[in-house]
Chain A
């Protein structure tokens, strides 16, 4: 057995996201939560025009916030949903559990 396994986490350097990144992400999380909530509501109330308008009004706001976030912090999505500038940035930005 490898004894270095005893304290693997203590030595691990955790790359934490900076405050600006966290604030930008929080705005995305706020908007996305509203979208999730309206999405589930619309699944059972598909004819509610007001809820539909609210949902549709979030879509461009969310798109714009995601674009600004990705410009600064790297791709938020993989599999062709986000471009990667210069190098392959997907693997560089911090993972959600390390933020």
Chain B
């Protein structure tokens, strides 16, 4: 069960409409290393984790990532609010407008829609936690690319917050991987 809180984890302000920036930021909504991938990956991997620490961490980070998806959605929504179809087209969002108008949709900046094969669940906790660490680094790199592309300091501020969260998650997944490795090794000998 999840309960909705009617607020963002971190406030989102934008300086004004900026469809060009929105076009690239959409990748953290529905691109391969975006927040949809992150939240679904972690929440789905919980069931095959052998320790309560790992189940707890995946639940909590998966839940936080859902909050991050809402933050990214809010950035896209605010950057495209009131933007005309012509301005969308000029910013490279003509394809997005044709299919979705101003609605949100999970895709990367090139319009490639989100697919489930961006994420994996092998049932091997070592493999899955290693994938999670890898995913956090890919998301960190993507946020750094977006920070380089951003020309709106208010959006950059939010991107920096999200980038830092990936670093913290990477750290916590690393600790959990060590813990699970210790647990698995202790099970090997009778």
Chain A residues with CB under 8 Å of chain B are 5-10, 14, 22, 25-26, 28-29, 32-33, 36-37, 39-41, 43-46, 75-79, 81, 90, 93, 95-97, 99
Q: Please give me the residue from chain B that is nearest to A75 by CB atom.
A: B6
B57 touches A40 (CB 8 A): yes
Q: Please give me the residue from chain B that is nearest to A39 by CB atom.
A: B60
B182 at the interface (CB under 8 A from A): no
Chain B residues with CB under 8 Å of chain A are 3-12, 53, 56-57, 60-61, 64, 70, 73-74, 77-78, 80-85, 101-102, 168-169, 172, 175-176, 179
Chain B binding surface, main DSSP class: helix
Complex Cα gap A43–B176 (Å): 9
Residue picked from B6, B57, B77, most chain A C-beta under 10 Å:
B6
Chain A residues with CB under 8 A of B3? 77-79, 81
Chain A binding surface, main DSSP class: helix
B7 touches A97 (CB 8 A): no
Q: How many pairs, one residue from A and one from B, have CB atoms within 8 Å of each other in the complex?
A: 86
Given contacts A44-B57, A96-B74, contact A77 B85 (CB under 8 A): no
Complex Cα gap A26–B58 (Å): 27
Residue picked from A6, A7, A9, A26, most chain B C-beta under 10 Å:
A9
Given contacts A43-B57, A97-B77, contact A77 B101 (CB under 8 A): no
Chain B residues with CB under 8 A of A95? 6
Complex Cα gap A25–B5 (Å): 11
| Among candidates A10, A44, A99, residue contacting B176 with C-beta atoms closer than 8 Å | A44
A8 touches B85 (CB 8 A): no
Complex Cα gap A44–B56 (Å): 9
A36 touches B9 (CB 8 A): yes
Chain B residues with CB under 8 A of A36? 9, 60, 64
A43 touches B53 (CB 8 A): yes
A43 touches B6 (CB 8 A): no
Cβ distance A90 to chain B, nearest Cβ, rounded Å: 8
Q: Please give me the residue from chain B that is nearest to A41 by CB atom.
A: B172
Q: Please give me the residue from chain A that is nearest to B169 by CB atom.
A: A40
Given contacts A96-B7, A97-B77, contact A9 B57 (CB under 8 A): no
Complex Cα gap A77–B43 (Å): 22
Given contacts A44-B172, A44-B175, contact A76 B7 (CB under 8 A): yes
Given contacts A40-B61, A44-B176, A97-B73, contact A33 B4 (CB under 8 A): no
Chain B residues with CB under 8 A of A77? 3-6
Chain B residues with CB under 8 A of A75? 6
A9 touches B176 (CB 8 A): no
